[in-house]
């Protein structure tokens, strides 16, 4: 698929990807979270980049253990090169100097990337979404947004929510008619936090807490909940496997995992060339076809066929009504808010 070749060539030329033979002896280790997501990355990114660059890519898996990376940086024994990392972890670790800074001008610019994808120490690898999900066979009247999620009279029954402060406080303020662009400004204040918890109080007796990403789709299928928050990719997968599950995109929260280069890597230039490759629209379209996570390249999102794009957080229609997760906010306030949330949930 070469629909976007002219748009990405400047980025690739900037990093010398068109001279593969010069890098034939290079190698590096790329680390992800394993499973179907990493298999899709292998197909869309790792193998094509290795072929084009002439380099060898070795893979490893981890569960996001930042302490392991910190030991590598502190001791100077850096066994990994590029890692996939969640947004709040990237924000904290970048401030601690654990990852290489990225010069986006040298990388060819960030004009093609969605807002928030180009960070000082990271480049958006994929977009995940959390939205309202429901079983269209069981719920004939489709909910339209967070007001309906909170409306226990019009939509009686249990609600599924993840047992974390993150996501839920944002959704509570949206349900309380706070504008998307004002959510994090308000949530950074004690007044806004109190308001979010008061809103959660309204549906607390009807909440069924989920902790594993597979639970929401299972609960919808069994009828345990009338609607639930869920990772959009999980609902897309359930739908593809025959369940008539649907998503409500207005007010959906989307966030990113990132590619980051560990400080002290001996293959920084190769790692930067990999990041440039992974930002191409062609490669990202191939990735989305392998697994329904959102691309970070706007041209890739715009070029998805409708039957695929409807499940993707960064397709133009869904992106226009979504809320971008503020990683810096959760890096700064996450510990205190999670502590307060746990105490509230236990009451």
Structural domain span for residue 118: 5-127+255-320
Same domain assignment for residues 38 and 112: yes
**Which positions ≥6 away from 312 have C-beta within 8 Å?**
127, 232, 288, 292, 293, 294, 295, 301, 304, 318
Same domain assignment for residues 332 and 190: yes
What's the CA gap between 321 and 78, in Å, rounded? Answer: 41
CATH of the domain at 249: 3.40.190.10
Q: Are the CB atoms for 30 and 274 separated by under 8 Å?
A: yes
Same domain assignment for residues 150 and 183: yes
Number of domain units in the chain: 2
Same domain assignment for residues 93 and 135: no
For the chain, report the end-to-end CA distance as a whole number of angstroms.
54
Same domain assignment for residues 182 and 296: no
Same domain assignment for residues 133 and 227: yes
The residues facing 210 across adjacent strands are 162
Same domain assignment for residues 248 and 152: yes
Q: What is the pLDDT of residues 242-298, one digit of tens each?
A: 999 999 999 999 999 999 999 999 999 999 999 999 999 999 999 998 888 889 999
Nearest to 16 by CA among 293, 277, 313, 310: 277
CB neighbourhood size of 71 (10 A): 12
Q: Are the CB atoms for 256 and 84 separated by under 8 Å?
A: no
Same domain assignment for residues 296 and 267: yes
- Indicate whether this model's pTM tops 0.95: no
Under the banding of pLDDT at 50, 70 and 90, the label for residue 303 is confident
Q: What is the pLDDT of residues 124-169, one digit of tens each?
A: 999 999 999 999 999 989 999 999 999 999 999 999 999 999 999 9
Same domain assignment for residues 37 and 57: yes
């Amino acid at each position: 698929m070469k629909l976007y070749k002219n748009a990405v060539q400047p980025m690739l030329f900037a990093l010398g990807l068109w001279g593969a033979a010069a890098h034939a002896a290079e190698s590096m280790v790329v680390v992800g979270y394993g499973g179907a997501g990493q298999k899709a990355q292998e197909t869309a990114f790792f193998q094509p980049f290795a072929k084009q660059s002439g380099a060898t890519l070795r893979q490893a898996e981890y569960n996001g253990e930042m302490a392991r990376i910190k030991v590598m940086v502190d001791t100077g024994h850096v066994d990994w090169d590029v890692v996939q990392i969640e947004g709040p972890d990237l924000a904290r670790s970048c401030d601690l100097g654990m990852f290489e800074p990225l010069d986006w001008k040298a990388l060819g610019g960030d004009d093609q990337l969605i807002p928030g994808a180009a960070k000082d120490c990271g480049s958006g690898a994929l977009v995940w979404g959390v939205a309202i999900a429901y079983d269209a066979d069981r719920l004939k009247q489709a909910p339209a947004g967070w007001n309906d999620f909170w409306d226990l009279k019009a939509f009686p029954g249990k609600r599924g929510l993840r047992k974390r402060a993150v996501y839920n406080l944002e959704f509570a303020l949206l349900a309380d008619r706070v504008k998307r662009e004002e959510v994090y400004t308000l949530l950074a204040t004690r007044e806004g936090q109190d308001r979010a918890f008061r809103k959660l109080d309204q549906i607390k007796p009807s909440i069924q807490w989920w902790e594993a990403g597979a639970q929401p789709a299972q609960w919808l299928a069994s009828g345990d909940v009338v609607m639930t928050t869920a990772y959009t990719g999980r609902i897309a997968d359930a739908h593809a496997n025959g369940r008539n599950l649907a998503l409500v995109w207005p007010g959906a929260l989307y966030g990113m995992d990132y590619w980051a280069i560990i400080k002290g890597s001996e293959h920084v230039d190769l790692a930067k060339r990999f990041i440039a490759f992974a930002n191409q629209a062609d490669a990202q379209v191939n990735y989305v076809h392998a697994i329904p996570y959102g691309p970070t390249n706007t041209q890739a999102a715009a070029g998805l066929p409708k039957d695929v794009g409807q499940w993707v957080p960064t397709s133009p229609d869904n992106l226009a009504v979504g809320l971008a997760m503020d990683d810096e906010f959760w890096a700064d306030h996450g510990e205190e808010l999670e502590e307060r949330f746990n105490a509230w949930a236990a009451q």
